[in-house]
Amino acid sequence: MINISKRLNTLQEKIVETSHLAGRDPSDISVLAVTKTHEKFAINEAIEAGQKHFGENYLQEALPKVAAFPEVDWHYIGSIQSNKTRVIAENFNWVHSVDTRKVAKRLNDQRPKNFPPLNVLIQINISGEVGKSGVTTDNAKRLASEIVELPNLSLQGLMTLPKATTEFAKQRIPFRDLRELRDNIGSTLGIQLPHLSMGMTGDFAAAIIEGSTWIRIGSAIFGPRRKTGDIT
């Protein structure tokens, strides 16, 4: 059985080491523990080890986990069908994967009135891959300008999920592009976009070097993803 607390410590050590290399303050980098395919006992173990933020990308799978652990912050990081926006607006504090005006508008309208604004990031298809979620860099600024007009959403920054590569120098390119896009949108619209959600188990060091503030980590904390049919 894997030791989640130990894995979180090892991850934190790597974050500290990498931030120092980049001349960054390690406390500016937060870990989003991605729990897809993992059971509640694993989430519980991470909570006991001090982990505060959890991410899921399949709604069906997420809802029972959100209900079981309402005390932590839940982030939705998966693709969004517009008929699912209400349940997302009611159950999550953060959404990293907004990529259309329609979805943004619905999340805004369906956010319960007694809740704080929903923190959102715009997902960017940074390498312009065909068939991939996210807005293109060309359309990102317009979507950002539309979201800032929505009172029940708080635009926090940009998110990306680039094409996987194991080469460090290549990993940095889309992350650098996302940072530059964020800087550009922020300055032309005159808004603060503090967050960059980028980097996963295989590439978080490159993402930290390029300015990530949310690294989304699954396997390095919980071990390999479980497949359906695995004995629990």
Ligand X SMILES: *Cc1c(COP(=O)(O)O)cnc(C)c1O
In terms of CB distance, is 84 or 189 closer to ligand X?
84
In terms of CB distance, is 12 or 152 closer to ligand X?
12
Nearest approach, Cβ of 103 to ligand X (angstroms)?
16
Residue 196, CA distances (Å) to 47, 123, 135, 161, 166 in order: 24, 10, 15, 11, 21
In terms of CB distance, is 30 or 145 closer to ligand X?
30
Backbone angles phi, psi at 91, to 5 degrees: -120, -10
Which residues inside 59-118 make contact with ligand X, applying CB under 6 A?
77
**Among 91, 152, 154, 201, contact with ligand X (rule: CB under 6 A):** 201
Sequence-distant (≥ 6) Cβ neighbours of residue 226 within 8 angstroms? 37, 38, 39, 232
What is the chain's length?
232
Nearest approach, Cβ of 216 to ligand X (angstroms)?
4
In terms of CB distance, is 190 or 224 closer to ligand X?
224
In terms of CB distance, is 81 or 188 closer to ligand X?
81
Is 218 a binding residue for ligand X by CB under 6 A? The answer is: yes
**Among 200, 205, 206, 207, contact with ligand X (rule: CB under 6 A):** 200
Q: For strand 153-160 and strand 195-197, is the pairing parallel, antiparallel, or unpaired?
A: parallel
In terms of CB distance, is 107 or 161 closer to ligand X?
161
**Among 31, 34, 121, 206, contact with ligand X (rule: CB under 6 A):** 34
104-143 burial, b at 16+ Cβ within 10 Å, e below that, comes to: bbbbbeebeeeeeebbbbbbbbbeeeeeeebbebebbbeb
* CB 225 within 8 Å of CB 219: yes
Is 219 a binding residue for ligand X by CB under 6 A? The answer is: yes
Q: For strand 195-197 and strand 53-56, is the pairing parallel, antiparallel, or unpaired?
A: unpaired
Tokens at 13, concatenated: 């050590």
- Which of the stretches 4-12, 131-139, 150-158, 194-202 binds ligand X when contact is defined by CB under 6 A? 194-202
Is 15 a binding residue for ligand X by CB under 6 A? The answer is: no
Interaction site with ligand X (CB under 6 A): 34, 36, 57, 77, 161, 200-202, 216-220
